[in-house]
Every structure is written in structure tokens, then in C-alpha cells.
Amino acid sequence: MSNDAPTHRNIPDRLDSPLRAAILSWPALLLVVAVIIFTVNSFASPYFLSPWSLSDATFNFTEKAIIALAMALLIISGEIDLSVAAIIALASTAMGLALQYGADTPALVAIGIGTGLLCGAFNGALVTRLGLPSIVVTIGTMSLFRGLSYIVLGDQAFKGYPASFAFFGQGYVWWVVSFEFVLFLGLAVIYYVLLHRTSFGRRVYVIGNNATAAQFSGVRVERIKFLLFCLTGLMSGIAAVLLTSRLGSTRPSIAQGWELEVITMVVLGGVSILGGSGSIAGVVIAAFIMGLVTFGMGLLNVPGIVQSIFIGLLLILVIALPIVLGRLRRLRK
Amino acid sequence: MNRLLKVRETWLGLAILALLVAITFRAPGFSTPENLASIFNDTSILLILALGQMVVILTRSIDLSIAANVALSGMVLALINSTWPDVPVPLLIAAAPLLGLAFGAINGFLVWKLDIPSIVVTLGTLTIYRGLTFLIAGGQWVNADEMTPDFIAITRLNLLGLPLLSWFAIATAIAFWVVMTRTPWGRAIYAIGVNPTASVYAGIDVGRTKFLAFCMSGFVAGLCGYLWVSKFVIASSETAIGYELQVIAACVIGGVSIAGGIGTVGSAVLGAIFLGIIGRALPVIGVSPFWQLAISGAAIILAVVLNARSERKTGRIILKQAEGA
């Protein structure tokens, strides 16, 4: 979907100073939005500003945000994975199946994460080996993976996960700080380093900006894309472990519609859907924004589907505003 | 004859025939004219939506909000019908596509004037339209007993042996065929899909053409809003939830290329019919309906693999491109 029409770009005489650039950057804008939402929420509901309810708020988004980290890299490289929620369903089903054969907690975790990785590798192989467009491939695997869960489970559910398994989705590391939240922060740091501080990360940007040039510069485009699909699958597997542990059961409809929420998070975080630009900081703040919005509105008894209107508007407004402002500025000149 | 064999629609048509023959061996009653007509009727809405989605995909865009548009338009019409039963149903049917067109135009406008990628725009409007469906109905459903008899009966009206719903699908397919193959507008849609840069130099307004494509998909979504509510006799915020992926699947199976520029009215129609037959055949040959999702997933992947093969053979790319570019 790139190169739609010839465009012209203005190249500035000199770059903005680093401080000015940081203030005008996307994460800074998002941070302002996050602070506003936080303030509004604390005035709107007396229950918002308690450590325990803030801790509860994190459960709303950590699982999705963990997938969003890997999805950000994938979208920066110019691909997309719509099957992440279906991978959660299949990984969760695999864990439930293993449970029927008496698997213990370590085995369950390994199976959940392993299934995610395998699904990611399957997507990656289809896209890179056969050269297929990822959006269609993952629409297909999305039906396939969730369909497999339906074949196994039908209208049934797996229950009876061991007590020790519950820690991943329900346990606290310290006081109100949940295991899920710590894991998310840890992964965010890892992904920050991977994308912004390693040559691998540079290559991801290069591929997203110009895959042909990257190929001729000696970047192994196919291999890196394959790895990114594997990473996204891996993160979906981890999310499956967390979610299954939190819910304590597996149904084939688990995590339905999450793929769109994950992508909304990534795009809201300033990652260009056309590839080539974006940052982990933006995605992390976007995850907080979405979590705060849903939790704050939940406290005010706003139904989930109405909250989604707000998320949808936020997505379009946050992307449209800079474009409109930029046009106005150019008009004034 | 040779030319016919090279066309993908021929092969898909043959595959559908083979499928029908195979199913008939297991269940002899399956291929009776009555049953086939009933399958076609059940596939009508998918078929109409697939046509709208195809036009959008041809322009290198995607409309993820198409099913949410169906739900919202359907809810508005159902509410009008239950609140003011005196409003004549033909008037509602005429208003339905225009209503959907308005929602589609919002998508198109954002894509055209703000240059926001369509996948982002329609992801946003998908949640907004569905949320609005919930809001305007106050979280309630509109049930059969709140609709007027006419509102429900019209799609079931028998005309020359087929219900009116089927005729809506046939008429839409013919209208799309005329627009896509016999008007400059249709040519422009193909042109910007094949090569947007060249289209600009040929004097085609790429943004405006995309806008019109989104209007077309909104138009059919609004029409299907009425058809859906009338057929299933219920309007809720869950109407057609997740259906956008079925619609895209129908296009892909039919051979519409997600990269734009490739795909015909015939391909969207056959893709929808293929999915419709699979859906009806599974219970008949004794396979649990829970298999349907996985089978359509496998069909999509298979179709993409085959499409990629044939697209490569036609050699549209003149300059040799780097692998993976």
C-alpha cells in the first residue's frame, strides 16, 4: 500500500534543536494526552486514584501491550499480523489440551509460548518464503488458527488449571505491582534496546523505508521479516499464557477482536502503518492511554462498546490533527 | 477456448462445480435447483458486500468498517421503522443505500483529503460505527415484533421463483459489472490500482477516485443494512460482527489482489458463492459446523498462494525487482 501517488517533500535548511524536536515529538504529544486523561479521570471518579484500582487498570492493557511491542517492529518493517488474537486462542487451546493429559505448570507455559512461536513462524514462512502479502496471509491464518480452536473445543471450555499456574495472570510481585505489569515493563525495555540501540533495529527501519535498497545494501530482508513474525507469535504466546492464567479457562472465543485493539495501540503510538517510522516509547504511552481510557470510563459505568467510540475517535483525531495543523501552517507561510 | 482457460474465474467456476459434484455424491439432495437457489439467497448479502469491498481493494485500499456500516445503517432503519411505522418501506429501502453512502463518504473523505491510510481510517470508523449502533438504540435490540410486516416481508417476496433478496444481489452484480467495465469511472478505479503514478499523469484524480470507491462500498453496505435486518429480523449492535473479514475472504478467494488493480465482478461473485456453498455443505455431509472457520481460513491461504503464482506469470512488473521488494 505504499507509493500511492507522487508526493513532494520539503527538506528543511537545518534540523530542529534536539530539545525542540523532543518537545514536538509524537511521544511528547501522547504524554500530554495521557496526563490529561489521567487528570480528568481522577476528578471524574473518586475511586480512580487508589493504588489498587490503578493496579487493576494495568490488567486491562498489559497483555495487548506485550503483543503491541512486537507488532510495532513488524509494522515498522512494512508488514502486519492480523492473526495475533487467533494465535492466543490456539495457544490457549493447546495448553488446555495438554492439561487434559496431565501437564504441569512449566510444561503448560512452554506449550503456550511454543505454540505462539510456531504460529508466528508459519505466518513468517508464508510471507517470506512464498512472497505473499502479509495482510491477506494473516487474515487467512486468523481464521485457520481460531478455526482449529473451534474444532478442538466446539462450544466447550477447558477449565481446572493448576493453582500454581494462576500466578502469571493474577500474581503480584510486590505490593500492588502485578507480575504482568513487571513483565510488560521488562519487555518494553528489551524492545526499546532492540529497536533503538542495535543494528537489528536499524535494519528494521531500513526495510520499512525501502526494502529494495535494503536488499542491495546487504540486509537479509526475508530473514529479518521472518524473525519479526516469529517474535510477534512469541509475544502472542506469552499473552496467551497470561490471559489463560488470568481467566482460568479456555474458550475458542478468547481474545476475540484483540488484533484490532493491538494495531490501534501501535498506530496511536505513532508507528506509521506504511512502515519505516515509529518508536517503542510512543507505543508504551499509547498502551497506557488506552488502558486509562477504558478503566476510567469503566469506573463511570460507560459500557465497553461506547468506550470503543472514544478509542476510535482518538485514533483518527490523533493522526489527523498533526496533518491538519501542518497544512494550516503551510497555508500561513 | 484457450483464452477462457487462462481466466481465473473459469478455474474457480470449475472448482465450484467439482465441489458441488463431490458434495452431491455424499448428499444427493444437495444440488437440486431449489436448494441451490436457497444457497444463493443465503449468500446474497455476502455477495453484495464483496462487490463493494472489491472496488475498494482495487484502489489499493481496504474497508474494514463495511460490516459496522451494515450494523449502523440497519439499526437506523429498524429504529425508524419501529418508531414511525407509517413511513413506507420502499422509501426506507431507497434511503438505505444513501445512509450507508454517507458513512462510506466519511471514510473516503478522510482517505482523500487527509491522506490517512485506509486501514487506519476504517479501523477507527469500525469501532465508532459499531459504538454508535449501540448508542442510538440505547443498548437495546430491535426485535421482529417491533418491525412492520412489510419491512420483513419485502425481501422474501417471490419474483419469478426467486426471493427479492436474490434479485437485489443479481441487480447489484449487473450494476457493478456495467460500472466497472463500461464507464470511465470503472477504468479509473482499475488504473489507480495498477499504477497510481501513471494515473496521475493520465489526468486521473487518485484521491477522488478512492473517495468514490469508498462511497460505492458504503452504498452497498447501507443496502445490506436493510437486507440484513429484514432477513434475520433483528437489529442489534452485534449485527454482522466480524463479517468484514468474511467479505475480504470472499474477495481474496475470488482472486482479487490485495495489491490492487486485479479483480473482476465475476471473481467477487464466485468467491462469495464458494464460501456460501462451503457453509451450507458442511452440516449436510456430516461435518461439525465448528470446522467452517478453519476451512475458510485454509481456503484463503490456498487462494492467495494460487493467485500469487498466476500474478507472477502474467509479468506485470516490467523492471526486475529485488526479491521481497
Domain boundaries, chain A: 48-325
Of the candidate ranges A104-118, A130-144, B97-111, the one whose mean pLDDT is the lowest: A130-144
How far apart are the CA of B314 and the nearest CA of chain A, in angstroms?
16
pLDDT-based confidence at B284, cuts 50/70/90? confident
| Residue B195, C-beta contacts closer than 8 angstroms, at least 6 positions apart | B261
**pLDDT at site B315:** 45
- Give A-chain residues touching B290 at CB under 8 angstroms: 147, 150-151, 153-155
Instruction: Report the top-level CATH class of A48-325.
Output: mainly alpha
Residue of A nearest to B137 (CA): A306
How far apart are the CA of A300 and the nearest CA of chain B, in angstroms?
16
pLDDT-based confidence at B311, cuts 50/70/90? low
pLDDT-based confidence at B282, cuts 50/70/90? confident
Query: pLDDT per residue over A234-279, tens digit each?
Result: 999 999 999 999 999 999 989 887 888 898 899 889 898 888 999 9
Q: Is residue B312 predicted with pLDDT exceeding 70?
A: no
Q: Is residue B26 predicted with pLDDT exceeding 90?
A: no
Task: Name the burial class of residue A257, with classes exposed (0-12), middle (13-18) and buried (19+) by CB atoms within 10 angstroms of its CB.
Answer: middle
Q: Is A94 on the interface with B (CB under 8 A)?
A: no
Q: Is residue A133 predicted with pLDDT exceeding 90?
A: no
Its pTM stands at 0.85
Separation of alpha carbons A286 and A267, rounded Å:
9
Average pLDDT for A50-61: 85
Q: Is residue A209 predicted with pLDDT exceeding 90?
A: yes
Best mutation target among B53, B57, B118, B123 (most A Cβ atoms within 10 Å) is B123
Q: Is residue A62 predicted with pLDDT exceeding 80?
A: yes
Separation of alpha carbons A283 and B92, rounded Å:
44
Who wins on pLDDT, B177 or B286? B177
Who wins on pLDDT, B27 or B39? B39
Q: Quick check: B119 and A273 CB within 8 A?
A: yes
Of chain A residues 139-168, which have a CB less than 8 A from chain B?
139-148, 150-151, 153-155
**pLDDT at site A23:** 72
Q: Is A300 on the interface with B (CB under 8 A)?
A: no
Q: What is the share, in percent, of chain B residues with pLDDT greater than 70? A: 93
Separation of alpha carbons B31 and B47, rounded Å:
20
Q: Is residue B283 predicted with pLDDT exceeding 90?
A: no
pLDDT-based confidence at B5, cuts 50/70/90? low
Q: Quick one: CA torsion of B117, B122, B125, B130, rounded to 10 degrees?
A: -160
Query: Residue A177 in 3-state DSSP?
Result: strand
Query: pLDDT per residue over A135-164, tens digit each?
Result: 889 989 998 999 999 999 988 899 889 989
Who wins on pLDDT, B224 or A324? B224
Query: Residue A16 in 3-state DSSP?
Result: coil
Of the candidate ranges A92-96, B55-59, B71-75, B305-309, the one whose mean pLDDT is the lowest: B305-309
Query: Residue A158 in 3-state DSSP?
Result: strand
Average pLDDT for B113-130: 89
Separation of alpha carbons B125 and B66, rounded Å:
9
- Give A-chain residues touching B322 at CB under 8 angstroms: 211-212, 215-216
- Give B-chain residues touching A309 at CB under 8 angstroms: 127-128, 131-132, 135
**pLDDT at site B110:** 94
pLDDT-based confidence at B6, cuts 50/70/90? low
Average pLDDT for B238-246: 85
Q: Is B317 on the interface with A (CB under 8 A)?
A: no
Could you identify the residue written with the cell 490503578? A54
Q: Is residue A12 predicted with pLDDT exceeding 60?
A: yes
**pLDDT at site A20:** 74
Q: What is the share, in percent, of chain A residues with pLDDT greater than 90? A: 53
Residue of A nearest to B311 (CA): A132
pLDDT-based confidence at A81, cuts 50/70/90? very high
**pLDDT at site A102:** 87
Of chain B residues 189-208, which have a CB less than 8 A from chain A?
196-197, 200, 206-207
How far apart are the CA of B241 and the nearest CA of chain A, in angstroms?
10
Of A128, A139, A153, the CB nearest to B245: A139
Q: Quick check: B258 and A323 CB within 8 A?
A: no
Angle at A290 between CA A286 and CA A291, to 5 degrees: 115
**pLDDT at site B323:** 41
Query: pLDDT per residue over B131-164, tens digit each?
Result: 999 999 988 888 888 888 888 888 888 888 899 9
Run of H or E including A6: none
The closest of B9, B71, B12, B46 to B280, measured between CA atoms, is B46
What is this model's ipTM?
0.82
Average pLDDT for A274-299: 90
Average pLDDT for B196-215: 94
**pLDDT at site A301:** 83
Q: Is A130 on the interface with B (CB under 8 A)?
A: yes
Q: What is the mean pLDDT of chain B?
A: 88
Instruction: Calculate the CA A161 to chain-centre distance.
Output: 26
Fold of B33-307: ABC transporter involved in vitamin B12 uptake, BtuC (1.10.3470)
| Residue A36, C-beta contacts closer than 8 angstroms, at least 6 positions apart | none
Of B61, B121, B325, the CB nearest to A316: B121
Q: Is residue A8 predicted with pLDDT exceeding 70?
A: no
Mean pLDDT is highest, among A34-48, A187-201, B126-140, for A187-201
**pLDDT at site B193:** 92
**pLDDT at site B91:** 93
Average pLDDT for A279-302: 89
Who wins on pLDDT, B29 or B163? B163
Write the Ramachandran bin of A104: left for phi over 0, alpha for psi from -120 to 50, otherwise beta. Answer: beta
**pLDDT at site B44:** 95
